[in-house]
Amino acid sequence: MKQTDANHLAKVHAIFDVLNGKEEADLLLKNLNILDVHGETVYQGSILVYDKRIVALNPDESIIRVKEVFDGQGLYAIPGLIDAHLHFESQLANPTALAEAMVPCGTTTIYAECLDLLSAAGENGIQAARDLFKDYDKLPYRLYAFAPGKKTAAEVTKAVLDMEPVIGLGEFEHFTYSSGDEDDFRKAAWLKEKGGFMNGHWGVTALSDMILNYLPAIGVSNNHDVWTGDDIEKSIRYGLATQIKFGVGSSEVIKILLRSIVDRKFPTDNFMLCTDNISVERLLKMGHMDWIISLCTEMGIPPIKAIKMASYNTAKSFHMEDQIGSLTPGRFADIVLTDSLSKINPLYVFKDGELIAKDKKMLKNAEIDYSSMRTKGKPGLDDLTPDQLDIVPLEISEDGTQAKVYLFDVYGRGHAKFYHEIWVTLKDGKIVPEYEGEKYSRLSVIQRYASGKRHVVNGLFKGVSIERGAVATFWPAPKPYFVVVGQDSEEMCCCAKEVDQYSGACIVTENKSKKAVMPLEIYGVMADMTVDELTSSADAIDAALEEFGNRNEGEPVVNKLLSLFISLHRFRFME
């Protein structure tokens, strides 16, 4: 008999013995109100756990023997929550720091993209993936990852497809898959050969119907790129499990989407919940899947159906409903205890039957060293001059008193245009940064490494409002660019050059001196910090900018600025 067969036989015997009292179970959770996601009911009962999995519901306590008993105090037991789509390097925290902020919210599983970090690593992308995934099985959440569908060389994608815990191919680039890119063809073919899932990045609002046929036709099974009710209708009509996202920059969009689901009576079995991108600060202050479930119920979705959108529906979409997503025998014992179904309050969080978080605090986390992934900066702005950051009018009125310029909106992506061309006053040859009675800061988008003339785009900016000083940050994927916000070209130039000394950072300057620094030393996209260090650093950026007149709400400024790069790339403001 093969060793694996013998192991399985031993496990079958062990479960039989546990249920007949001949062997000890690991944990009995009793006095619970258990959510049955299949029947969409709640019943009083208990859950027996052995070897990380649920082995019985309402076991006969006169027969079983158990090592530990946990009194659920009449709380609701729901499945561990699942994020269906998360760029888990884009929230800046390394995997263990992310756990500290996310798991106490009741999230025990994530389906994660890693394309930005691997793209930033360039020729070291394969090694970066190995380092990122090392000891992933020790993390206090389940990590299922996707090889990059965009932003990396095809050879990197092929190598990553063979790694654990990779289960498929990540989102393609709109501009390439819609034009017939050979690398995209190869990546899709490799996945077909290997088997696995393909994430959709459908761009419903931007592509023709004929192009929209292409992705589901080649095997894409899900889509997180919806912005309106019409997008939702088309996405589910084309057979795609549709992920409703609520991450950075989409606070209004999520309400539009949920309202459409309720008003248009779309069956909720079509939907999963995801973040896409989210800051650690938002996790700590508002929550994760727990918060979005509560918002769903506020918007009129029944609580059990909302919970299924963040658990069972996602597990089923990825063909893992026999492993996660419900509280039934054979599934991993990922369990959240809450005192409400309509307003999720994760008082206790279990993964594999082990209590890992209580009262929004981690009790146990992995200890994984990511310091080997730190990189040093390679400066590229030595020849940048302040005049390159001056706003040059796109057009000047015939009388010379008005100038057409770009106005960028940090939250404009999806529900309004990310950028507008507006007319402002031109006085003594200079742009007056005011529009419709409101004064704006300036924004410069700067190419880091220039071959010949450096690519720079300048305009006005709605999202960070400062009266003096400057703030700048950098993002290397898919192309290395800076953004800098301020009022004065010399100050803005100095601030950008300060960031240029790092592999990645967010820096605030005043009078050409640094006021606050947040280093992103892991390939320029991730901070090698604890959650406390990360939040303190982001808070220092916000506090410095508040002295300059900014009144920040919602996400930290560093996350707002980093979210710009998604839109700048999508709307082709980076060469």
**DSSP helix/strand/coil, 462:** strand
Residue 88 has pLDDT above 50, yes or no: yes
pLDDT digits (tens, 9 = 90+) for 384-439: 999 999 999 999 999 999 999 999 998 765 545 789 999 999 999 899 999 999 99
Q: Of 313, 308, 309, 306, which is closest to residue 343 (Cα–Cα)?
A: 306
**DSSP helix/strand/coil, 491:** helix
Report pLDDT for 5.
63
pTM for the whole structure: 0.94
Segments making up each domain of the chain, as ranges = 1-74, 80-327, 386-571
pLDDT digits (tens, 9 = 90+) for 440-452: 999 999 999 999 9
What does the block give as tokens for 171?
Answer: 């989102």
Residue 211 has pLDDT above 60, yes or no: yes
Model confidence at 250, pLDDT cuts 50, 70, 90, reads low
Stretch 275-294: mean pLDDT, rounded? 93
Q: Of 464, 407, 415, 416, which is closest to residue 436 (Cα–Cα)?
A: 407
Residues 6 or more apart whose CB falls under 8 angstroms from that of 435 comprise 407, 422, 424, 460
Q: Report in angstroms the alpha-carbon separations of 185 from 182, 218, 501.
A: 5, 10, 38
Question: How do strand 402-409 and strand 456-462 relate by DSSP bridges?
Answer: parallel
Q: What is the distance between the alpha carbons of residues 248 and 261, in angstroms, rounded to a whole number?
A: 21
Burial class (CB in 10 A: 0-12, 13-18, 19+), 472: buried
Model confidence at 201, pLDDT cuts 50, 70, 90, reads confident
**Contact (Cβ atoms closer than 8 angstroms) between residue 106 and residue 349:** yes
Residues 6 or more apart whose CB falls under 8 angstroms from that of 306 comprise 268, 293, 296, 297
